[in-house]
A and B are shown apart, each in its own frame.
Chain A
Amino acid sequence: METLAMHISNGIVNGPVAAVFAAFALAVLTLCVLRGRRDLDDRLAPMAGLVAAFIFAVQMLNFPIFTAGVSGHLLGGALAALLVGPWVGALCVAVVLVVQALVFGDGGVAMLGLNVTNMAVLGTAAAYLLIALLLRVLPRTPAGLAVTAFVSALVSVVVASQGFVLQYWLGGTTDLGGNLAGLAGTMAGVHLLIGIGEGLITATTVVTVAKVRPDLVYALRALRPAAPAPVVPVAGGAR
């Protein structure tokens, strides 16, 4: 059977660059622990455990992206940022990546800093910046939440993919003969398509949670504090 690798494998980026990103990832995750503790209470902690477990599960579900022989899977940064906030969300994705590297042989242990930087740090940060912007300007409806989730998820995947391109530029093990732009373009194109899948999964999941337990969606608590819950004034006022 072919190996089922989803993240950066050993030998793709050289040791020194991987070590620098490991230090960077560790520093950012430490900051996330310090800032995330403000958010982590008796209600958010179990929710964050669930978000990590859910991301692990959905990452296993590679979906076709309608270009020959290529699949995509959820990264989860936007989903985590929406449900448990940016600081705890980045930690959730990092937990998934650590479990995958140490137990499932997915993503080299020596490459963990690179994978954490791209998916946990860059992906979650890009997503939350967009979430914070979009939730403020879009209407407070399930559709507004869905659009926010879709766009932030899509963009976060492309940003994460370009994080890898930067790392490969700094320490890639094969000389591309100056064709870094080719790699950047290929990565961006493929991950734009994957981002559509990521966006659909993220929007579906978050809208579902918001319907069942709106109080458990961090982004709605933190960014739309005036609305106690998306008990959207049943659109009747507009009619």
Chain B
Amino acid sequence: MSGEHGNWCLIESDPGVFTELIHNMGARNVQVEELYDLDPSTLREIEPVYGLIFLFKWQSGSGGSSGEPGPRAAEPSGASDHVYFAQQIIQNACATQAILAVLLNRSGEIELGEMLENFRSFSADLPPDMRGLAMTNSDCIRDVHNSFVRPESFISDERRPATENDDVFHFISYVPVGGRLYELDGLKPGPIDHGATDDWLETVGGVIQKRMSEYSQSEIRFNLMAVIGDRRKILGERISVVDADISRLTVRLEALRLDGGEASQAEATRVESQIGKLSSERTGLECMVERENGKFARYRFDNALRKHNFIPLVYQLVRGLVEKNTLRPAMERAADAAKTRPRRAPPSW
């Protein structure tokens, strides 16, 4: 349906999916976190934050809005030349496009990897529309993107061109570049400059709030994700620092105890309590690492299912029901259930 650009599957706006996409594109020490509020303190906890990806999902037609908030025109200006901006060419590539909008603007801090470095240097001199086209036509980027095609979704993709009733996604990335906060909206002609900021984590919340309010009331779902540094690596580094402090204090403590003097004993008590504090901090950090491990295990599980072809499982499950002589009763109950609810619209994704 996307003709010469090849097919791009729809991607769930899910942190596990985005994290794996980034990893598979070759960038390292980056992960994606879902945010549930715009509070700066939330962002502080997960620093470094490289950029935010804001995904809207709205029913076109329900609000009479094309999704274009309208009032603010983009301001393509010479001042934004250092911003990597690509226009959105096709709908389904949006997840990848949003990711690249952040990654390619933070290439100084992020290890992009060969694929993305090559793409960046190749497309750097192109105008925004050609960058979008280059992205859309990049086989390797598309392959990574399409690794998330659902085995059944190819049926629906081909079968059913997007209609007015389909959910439509739109994404906007927010990235600080050169001390200014930019809004990168692939439907606009250029980056939108939100001005100079010392601390973009403080200001971005308000900008997003304002942007949200520009959408019609019918906008019901949105999704905010942060592209951040590898949490486990950062936590690991903090644990190392704490460990170094603890061992230094332990040496000191032993020395003080050997000394035996009264002043030394008082000092030893203080050092001991300090070690205790550091130990509990360490435990806290380890808990966070464990949480991250659990999260990544979850990602692996979910992503495996996202890509899985369930037809063989369905087939074996039905055979199991037959073995147990429960298929027919189950079908009868299903028929009853079908009667009591309106005919379902085909699944859309």
A binds B: no
Where the two chains meet, the residues of A that have a C-beta atom closer than 8 Å to any C-beta of B are none
